[in-house]
């Protein structure tokens, strides 16, 4: 596979499992359901940022960075994985985290990802309510430079054309697993936020010439805004990797009716979907991303979007430590 002139470092030791969800398929009397377990990447409880960080950290090292700087919400899985990656490569890490409207409480502010960030040795900068998170982080980058550090700024969710290469590679890995297991994969459903995962998967499917649908379930934005994010990533990636941009754009498939009032704000259907997967498959989803994406998958199945002969996979992108930040919902 071509990459964007960046070698990757190793943050995961193996491929992630690709398995059937037999109990759920039977309970729903549905298409054949599978799961790609990117919650099992192995880096500080895993998740989809590991694959992106393999490319981003390589780029940071190439540029002689001494400190990774990134941004996110208080319960950012991306922030937690970034500290973990920094620790593995003896880099410092500064997290700039913002409060998410409609969330709060002691668990949200201190447990889940925040607890793990602290255990791994960072003290996140919490952005004051009247300040913009990105501006705050870019000012910090300048301060760090003045102190003699070489900061490497990672955009929200690690979703730039370099980070998204991690999901080009995931598409390759998944399709190889399908080949080995003799499965023709009709659709792959996942949570889409900062869009690097979806852009990378689309690019990967395009490079492979696979006709698998890549369906992104939005966690924060309406379809038009999400589409723009994906196109902004596909444009530079198509040049660097050599795939047809228009054909990739035609593949964009988005469902935006499942995220409720906004990013990180729980929905009743999300709580039910998390319980459903835990009880049928012993798989723990998360409240912000995969729980809402699973609501989308269950609804699509309910609406007969797939036939009984089709093979449909869910990409588990991690985040289950976030359950502790929302624990009252599940009592």
Ligand X SMILES: Cc1ncc(COP(=O)(O)O)c(C=O)c1O
Catalytic residues: 76
Q: Tell me whether residue 32 or residue 153 sits nearer to ligand X (CB atom).
A: 153
Q: Tell me whether residue 32 or residue 49 sits nearer to ligand X (CB atom).
A: 49
**Which burial class, exposed, middle or buried, applies to 277 when counting CB atoms under 10 A from its CB (0-12, 13-18, 19+)?**
buried
CB of 48 to ligand X, least distance (A): 5
Per the CB < 8 A criterion, the answer to whether 29 and 17 are in contact is: no
> Using CB under 6 A as the criterion, which residues of the chain lie in contact with ligand X when the complex forms?
47-48, 77-78, 157, 159, 191-198, 286, 289-290, 317-319
CB of 53 to ligand X, least distance (A): 12
Q: Tell me whether residue 76 or residue 311 sits nearer to ligand X (CB atom).
A: 76
Residue 257 structure tokens: 């009716």
Whole-angstrom distance, CA of residue 326 vs CA of residue 331? 10
Q: Tell me whether residue 36 or residue 78 sits nearer to ligand X (CB atom).
A: 78
Per the CB < 8 A criterion, the answer to whether 157 and 194 are in contact is: yes
CB of 75 to ligand X, least distance (A): 9
Q: How far is CA 182 from CA 47, 179, 195, 259, 313, in A?
A: 26, 5, 29, 34, 14
CB of 223 to ligand X, least distance (A): 14
CB of 145 to ligand X, least distance (A): 27
Q: Tell me whether residue 259 or residue 289 sits nearer to ligand X (CB atom).
A: 289
Whole-angstrom distance, CA of residue 184 vs CA of residue 313? 11
- Three-state DSSP at 292 gives helix
Whole-angstrom distance, CA of residue 106 vs CA of residue 110? 6
40, 79, 75: which is closest to 317 by C-alpha? 40
- Three-state DSSP at 97 gives strand
Chain-centroid distance, C-alpha 263: 14
């Amino acid at each position: 596979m071509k990459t964007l002139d960046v070698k990757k470092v190793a943050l995961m030791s193996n491929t992630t499992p690709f398995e059937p969800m037999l109990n759920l398929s039977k309970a729903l009397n549905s298409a054949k359901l599978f799961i790609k377990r990117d919650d099992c990447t192995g880096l500080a409880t895993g998740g989809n940022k590991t694959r992106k960080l393999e490319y981003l950290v390589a780029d940071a090292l190439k540029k002689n960075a001494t400190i990774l700087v990134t941004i996110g919400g208080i319960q950012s899985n991306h922030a937690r994985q970034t500290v973990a990656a920094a620790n593995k490569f003896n880099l410092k890490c500064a997290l700039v985290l913002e409060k998410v409207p409609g969330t709060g409480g002691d668990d949200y502010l201190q447990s889940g990802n925040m607890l793990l960030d602290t255990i791994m040795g960072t003290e996140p900068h919490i952005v004051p309510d009247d300040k913009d998170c990105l501006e705050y982080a870019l000012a910090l980058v300048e301060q760090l430079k003045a102190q003699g550090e070489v900061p490497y700024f990672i955009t929200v969710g690690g979703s730039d054309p370099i980070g998204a290469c991690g999901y080009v590679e995931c598409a390759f890995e998944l399709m190889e697993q399908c080949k080995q297991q003799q499965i023709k994969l009709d659709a792959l459903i996942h949570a889409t936020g900062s869009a690097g995962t979806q852009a990378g998967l689309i690019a990967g499917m395009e490079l492979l010439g696979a006709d698998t649908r890549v369906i992104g379930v939005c966690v924060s934005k309406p379809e038009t805004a999400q589409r723009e994010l994906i196109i902004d990533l596909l444009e530079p990636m198509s040049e660097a990797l050599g795939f047809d941009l228009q054909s990739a754009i035609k593949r964009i498939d988005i469902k935006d009716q499942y995220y409720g009032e906004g990013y990180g704000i729980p929905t009743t259907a999300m709580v039910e979907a998390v319980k459903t997967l835990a009880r049928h498959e012993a798989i723990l989803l998360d409240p912000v991303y995969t729980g809402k994406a699973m609501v989308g998958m269950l609804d699509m199945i309910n609406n007969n979007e797939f036939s009984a002969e089709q093979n449909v996979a869910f990409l588990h992108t991690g985040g289950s430590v976030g359950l502790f930040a929302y624990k009252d919902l599940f009592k």
